[in-house]
Amino acid sequence: MILSWLRSRRRRAIAERPFPAVWGDMLRRTVRQVDWLGDEERARLQAWVAVFLAEKRFEGCGGMVVTDEVRLAVAGQAAITAIGFEQAFYPMLTSILVYPRDYVVPKAHPIGGGAQLEWHEPRFGETWAGGSMVLSWPRVVEGGRMRDGPRSVVIHECAHLLDLADGEIDGAPPLTGSRGAWAADMQACRDRFEAALDEGRTTAFDEYAAESDAEFFAVASECFFQDPHRLVRHDAVLYARLTEAWCQDPRQRVPPRDPRDR
Protein backbone atom coordinates (compact mmCIF):
# COMPACT_ATOMS: atom_id res chain seq x y z
CA MET A 1 0.00 0.00 0.00
CA ILE A 2 2.76 2.44 0.96
CA LEU A 3 4.83 1.54 -2.11
CA SER A 4 1.80 2.06 -4.36
CA TRP A 5 1.14 5.46 -2.78
CA LEU A 6 4.76 6.49 -3.19
CA ARG A 7 4.78 5.36 -6.83
CA SER A 8 1.60 7.31 -7.58
CA ARG A 9 3.00 10.38 -5.89
CA ARG A 10 6.24 10.16 -7.84
CA ARG A 11 4.38 9.69 -11.12
CA ARG A 12 2.14 12.65 -10.40
CA ALA A 13 5.19 14.83 -9.72
CA ILE A 14 6.79 13.76 -13.01
CA ALA A 15 3.58 14.31 -14.97
CA GLU A 16 3.11 17.81 -13.57
CA ARG A 17 6.52 19.05 -14.71
CA PRO A 18 6.50 21.23 -17.84
CA PHE A 19 6.98 19.05 -20.89
CA PRO A 20 10.18 20.17 -22.68
CA ALA A 21 9.40 22.03 -25.90
CA VAL A 22 12.12 20.11 -27.75
CA TRP A 23 10.45 16.86 -26.71
CA GLY A 24 7.14 18.12 -28.06
CA ASP A 25 8.77 18.89 -31.41
CA MET A 26 10.36 15.43 -31.53
CA LEU A 27 7.05 13.75 -30.74
CA ARG A 28 5.31 15.55 -33.59
CA ARG A 29 8.12 14.61 -35.99
CA THR A 30 8.26 10.96 -35.02
CA VAL A 31 4.63 10.12 -34.14
CA ARG A 32 2.21 11.40 -36.75
CA GLN A 33 -0.87 10.73 -34.63
CA VAL A 34 0.16 13.35 -32.07
CA ASP A 35 -1.02 16.07 -34.45
CA TRP A 36 -4.52 14.56 -34.48
CA LEU A 37 -5.01 14.74 -30.71
CA GLY A 38 -7.04 17.44 -29.02
CA ASP A 39 -5.33 19.67 -26.47
CA GLU A 40 -6.49 17.60 -23.48
CA GLU A 41 -5.47 14.29 -25.06
CA ARG A 42 -2.10 15.70 -26.11
CA ALA A 43 -1.43 16.91 -22.56
CA ARG A 44 -2.33 13.46 -21.19
CA LEU A 45 -0.10 11.80 -23.77
CA GLN A 46 2.84 14.02 -22.90
CA ALA A 47 2.40 13.34 -19.18
CA TRP A 48 2.26 9.59 -19.89
CA VAL A 49 5.39 9.79 -22.04
CA ALA A 50 7.28 11.63 -19.29
CA VAL A 51 6.47 8.93 -16.74
CA PHE A 52 7.21 6.12 -19.19
CA LEU A 53 10.63 7.54 -20.00
CA ALA A 54 11.40 7.95 -16.30
CA GLU A 55 10.54 4.34 -15.53
CA LYS A 56 11.77 2.32 -18.50
CA ARG A 57 15.38 1.59 -19.39
CA PHE A 58 16.49 1.95 -23.03
CA GLU A 59 19.49 0.08 -24.41
CA GLY A 60 21.14 0.25 -27.83
CA CYS A 61 22.15 -3.05 -29.48
CA GLY A 62 24.38 -3.75 -32.47
CA GLY A 63 25.95 -0.30 -32.33
CA MET A 64 22.67 1.59 -31.94
CA VAL A 65 22.95 4.91 -30.12
CA VAL A 66 19.82 5.67 -28.11
CA THR A 67 18.96 9.38 -28.35
CA ASP A 68 15.98 11.35 -27.07
CA GLU A 69 14.45 11.02 -30.54
CA VAL A 70 14.62 7.21 -30.28
CA ARG A 71 13.12 7.19 -26.81
CA LEU A 72 10.33 9.57 -27.74
CA ALA A 73 9.46 7.73 -30.96
CA VAL A 74 8.94 4.54 -28.98
CA ALA A 75 7.23 6.15 -25.99
CA GLY A 76 4.95 8.27 -28.17
CA GLN A 77 3.58 5.26 -30.06
CA ALA A 78 3.19 3.30 -26.84
CA ALA A 79 1.31 6.26 -25.36
CA ILE A 80 -1.20 6.24 -28.24
CA THR A 81 -2.19 2.70 -27.22
CA ALA A 82 -2.55 3.71 -23.55
CA ILE A 83 -4.76 6.79 -24.01
CA GLY A 84 -7.88 4.86 -23.03
CA PHE A 85 -6.45 3.54 -19.76
CA GLU A 86 -6.06 5.28 -16.43
CA GLN A 87 -2.43 5.32 -15.28
CA ALA A 88 -1.44 2.18 -17.20
CA PHE A 89 2.30 2.18 -17.90
CA TYR A 90 2.80 -1.46 -18.93
CA PRO A 91 4.20 -2.51 -15.56
CA MET A 92 5.61 -5.80 -16.84
CA LEU A 93 7.92 -3.89 -19.21
CA THR A 94 11.25 -2.84 -17.72
CA SER A 95 13.61 -2.38 -20.68
CA ILE A 96 13.49 -1.55 -24.38
CA LEU A 97 16.31 -2.83 -26.61
CA VAL A 98 16.70 -1.07 -29.95
CA TYR A 99 18.65 -2.33 -32.96
CA PRO A 100 19.81 -0.05 -35.80
CA ARG A 101 18.26 -2.40 -38.37
CA ASP A 102 16.19 -5.57 -38.59
CA TYR A 103 17.94 -8.31 -36.64
CA VAL A 104 18.12 -12.11 -36.78
CA VAL A 105 17.80 -14.77 -34.11
CA PRO A 106 19.10 -18.35 -34.32
CA LYS A 107 16.41 -21.04 -34.58
CA ALA A 108 16.63 -24.83 -34.42
CA HIS A 109 14.19 -27.70 -34.92
CA PRO A 110 14.90 -31.41 -34.26
CA ILE A 111 14.49 -33.59 -37.35
CA GLY A 112 15.24 -36.99 -35.85
CA GLY A 113 18.30 -39.16 -35.36
CA GLY A 114 19.89 -36.58 -33.10
CA ALA A 115 20.07 -34.06 -35.93
CA GLN A 116 18.42 -30.69 -36.03
CA LEU A 117 17.62 -28.08 -38.65
CA GLU A 118 19.22 -24.71 -37.89
CA TRP A 119 18.55 -21.32 -39.46
CA HIS A 120 18.44 -17.61 -38.72
CA GLU A 121 15.05 -15.91 -38.57
CA PRO A 122 14.70 -12.17 -39.31
CA ARG A 123 12.84 -10.13 -36.70
CA PHE A 124 11.39 -6.60 -36.48
CA GLY A 125 10.52 -6.81 -32.81
CA GLU A 126 9.57 -9.12 -29.97
CA THR A 127 8.39 -9.07 -26.37
CA TRP A 128 9.91 -11.23 -23.68
CA ALA A 129 7.92 -12.35 -20.63
CA GLY A 130 10.93 -11.36 -18.50
CA GLY A 131 10.21 -7.68 -19.09
CA SER A 132 12.04 -6.66 -22.27
CA MET A 133 10.85 -5.37 -25.63
CA VAL A 134 13.16 -5.60 -28.66
CA LEU A 135 12.68 -3.28 -31.63
CA SER A 136 14.17 -2.52 -35.04
CA TRP A 137 14.68 1.25 -35.28
CA PRO A 138 13.74 1.57 -39.00
CA ARG A 139 10.44 -0.21 -38.22
CA VAL A 140 9.82 2.13 -35.28
CA VAL A 141 10.27 5.09 -37.63
CA GLU A 142 7.97 3.64 -40.30
CA GLY A 143 5.23 2.92 -37.79
CA GLY A 144 5.41 6.30 -36.10
CA ARG A 145 5.30 8.20 -39.36
CA MET A 146 2.68 5.78 -40.76
CA ARG A 147 4.78 4.95 -43.81
CA ASP A 148 4.00 1.24 -43.83
CA GLY A 149 0.23 1.09 -44.09
CA PRO A 150 -1.40 -0.24 -40.93
CA ARG A 151 1.84 -1.65 -39.51
CA SER A 152 3.58 -0.49 -36.33
CA VAL A 153 6.06 -2.68 -34.50
CA VAL A 154 5.67 -0.64 -31.30
CA ILE A 155 1.88 -1.02 -31.29
CA HIS A 156 2.29 -4.72 -32.09
CA GLU A 157 4.54 -5.28 -29.09
CA CYS A 158 2.33 -3.15 -26.83
CA ALA A 159 -0.54 -5.46 -27.81
CA HIS A 160 1.52 -8.40 -26.59
CA LEU A 161 2.17 -6.52 -23.34
CA LEU A 162 -1.54 -5.89 -22.83
CA ASP A 163 -2.20 -9.53 -23.66
CA LEU A 164 0.46 -10.58 -21.13
CA ALA A 165 -1.15 -8.58 -18.31
CA ASP A 166 -3.21 -11.60 -17.23
CA GLY A 167 -0.15 -13.85 -17.22
CA GLU A 168 -0.13 -15.34 -20.73
CA ILE A 169 0.24 -14.10 -24.32
CA ASP A 170 -2.73 -15.93 -25.77
CA GLY A 171 -4.74 -13.33 -27.69
CA ALA A 172 -7.10 -12.65 -24.77
CA PRO A 173 -6.23 -9.42 -22.91
CA PRO A 174 -7.80 -8.48 -19.57
CA LEU A 175 -11.47 -7.59 -20.10
CA THR A 176 -14.36 -6.15 -18.12
CA GLY A 177 -16.97 -8.15 -20.08
CA SER A 178 -17.55 -11.83 -20.80
CA ARG A 179 -14.41 -13.70 -21.84
CA GLY A 180 -16.55 -16.38 -23.45
CA ALA A 181 -18.28 -13.88 -25.74
CA TRP A 182 -14.90 -12.29 -26.55
CA ALA A 183 -13.38 -15.66 -27.45
CA ALA A 184 -16.33 -16.62 -29.66
CA ASP A 185 -16.31 -13.32 -31.54
CA MET A 186 -12.54 -13.29 -31.99
CA GLN A 187 -12.53 -16.86 -33.28
CA ALA A 188 -15.24 -15.96 -35.80
CA CYS A 189 -13.23 -12.90 -36.87
CA ARG A 190 -10.11 -15.02 -37.30
CA ASP A 191 -12.07 -17.60 -39.30
CA ARG A 192 -13.32 -14.87 -41.66
CA PHE A 193 -9.79 -13.50 -42.00
CA GLU A 194 -8.29 -16.88 -42.84
CA ALA A 195 -11.09 -17.62 -45.30
CA ALA A 196 -10.31 -14.36 -47.08
CA LEU A 197 -6.64 -15.33 -47.27
CA ASP A 198 -7.50 -18.76 -48.66
CA GLU A 199 -9.73 -17.19 -51.31
CA GLY A 200 -7.22 -14.52 -52.30
CA ARG A 201 -9.45 -11.67 -51.17
CA THR A 202 -8.15 -8.36 -49.80
CA THR A 203 -7.71 -8.26 -46.03
CA ALA A 204 -7.33 -5.33 -43.65
CA PHE A 205 -3.96 -6.41 -42.32
CA ASP A 206 -0.97 -8.70 -42.78
CA GLU A 207 -1.28 -12.48 -43.16
CA TYR A 208 1.11 -12.93 -40.21
CA ALA A 209 -2.04 -12.54 -38.11
CA ALA A 210 -2.95 -16.12 -39.03
CA GLU A 211 0.03 -17.47 -37.04
CA SER A 212 -1.83 -17.72 -33.71
CA ASP A 213 -4.52 -16.11 -31.56
CA ALA A 214 -1.86 -13.90 -29.98
CA GLU A 215 -0.57 -12.67 -33.34
CA PHE A 216 -4.10 -12.14 -34.62
CA PHE A 217 -4.80 -9.82 -31.70
CA ALA A 218 -1.48 -7.97 -32.09
CA VAL A 219 -1.62 -7.50 -35.88
CA ALA A 220 -5.29 -6.49 -35.78
CA SER A 221 -4.41 -3.96 -33.06
CA GLU A 222 -1.84 -2.37 -35.38
CA CYS A 223 -4.58 -1.75 -37.95
CA PHE A 224 -7.01 -0.65 -35.22
CA PHE A 225 -4.74 2.25 -34.30
CA GLN A 226 -3.07 3.00 -37.65
CA ASP A 227 -6.02 2.67 -40.04
CA PRO A 228 -9.23 2.22 -38.02
CA HIS A 229 -11.59 3.12 -40.88
CA ARG A 230 -10.10 0.34 -43.01
CA LEU A 231 -10.50 -2.16 -40.18
CA VAL A 232 -14.13 -1.31 -39.48
CA ARG A 233 -14.94 -1.65 -43.20
CA HIS A 234 -13.45 -5.13 -43.27
CA ASP A 235 -14.76 -6.40 -39.93
CA ALA A 236 -16.97 -4.22 -37.71
CA VAL A 237 -17.22 -6.94 -35.06
CA LEU A 238 -13.44 -7.14 -34.73
CA TYR A 239 -13.23 -3.38 -34.48
CA ALA A 240 -15.87 -3.32 -31.73
CA ARG A 241 -14.02 -5.98 -29.75
CA LEU A 242 -10.77 -4.04 -30.01
CA THR A 243 -12.46 -0.86 -28.74
CA GLU A 244 -13.40 -2.94 -25.71
CA ALA A 245 -9.86 -4.21 -25.21
CA TRP A 246 -8.17 -0.83 -25.68
CA CYS A 247 -10.91 1.36 -24.13
CA GLN A 248 -10.83 3.86 -27.00
CA ASP A 249 -12.11 4.52 -30.52
CA PRO A 250 -9.31 5.73 -32.83
CA ARG A 251 -11.81 6.65 -35.56
CA GLN A 252 -12.56 9.74 -33.51
CA ARG A 253 -9.11 11.17 -34.29
CA VAL A 254 -7.51 9.30 -37.22
CA PRO A 255 -8.71 10.68 -40.58
CA PRO A 256 -9.79 8.20 -43.27
CA ARG A 257 -7.16 7.34 -45.87
CA ASP A 258 -7.76 7.38 -49.59
CA PRO A 259 -8.67 3.78 -50.57
CA ARG A 260 -6.56 4.22 -53.71
CA ASP A 261 -3.50 4.29 -51.48
CA ARG A 262 -3.96 0.63 -50.47
Q: What is the mean pLDDT of residues 123-143?
A: 94
pLDDT tens track for 34-93: 999 999 999 999 999 999 999 999 999 999 999 999 999 999 999 999 999 987 899 999
Residues 6+ apart with CB under 8 A from 137: 64, 70, 98, 99, 100, 101
Q: What is the mean pLDDT of residues 211-236?
A: 97
Q: Which long-range contacts (CB under 8 A, 24 or more apart) does 171-180 make?
A: 171/212, 171/213, 171/214, 171/215, 171/216, 171/217, 172/213, 172/217, 173/217, 173/245, 175/244, 175/245, 176/244, 177/244
Q: What's the pLDDT at 262?
A: 46
Judged against a pLDDT cut of 70, whether residue 166 lies above it is answered with: yes
pLDDT tens track for 31-41: 999 999 999 99
Q: Which helix (H) or strand (E) holds 107?
A: strand 103-112
| CA 102 distance to own-chain centroid | 17
Q: What's the pLDDT at 145?
A: 97
- Average pLDDT score over the chain: 92
Q: What's the pLDDT at 25?
A: 97
Cβ neighbours of 250 (radius 10 Å): 25
What percentage of the chain has pLDDT greater than the value 90?
Answer: 80
Q: What's the pLDDT at 87?
A: 75
The model's pTM: 0.92
Q: What's the pLDDT at 115?
A: 63
- pLDDT band for 259, please (50, 70, 90 cuts): low
Q: What's the pLDDT at 205?
A: 96
Q: What is the mean pLDDT of residues 123-136?
A: 92
Domains in the chain, CATH or no CATH each: 14-261 (3.40.390.10)
Judged against a pLDDT cut of 80, whether residue 1 lies above it is answered with: no
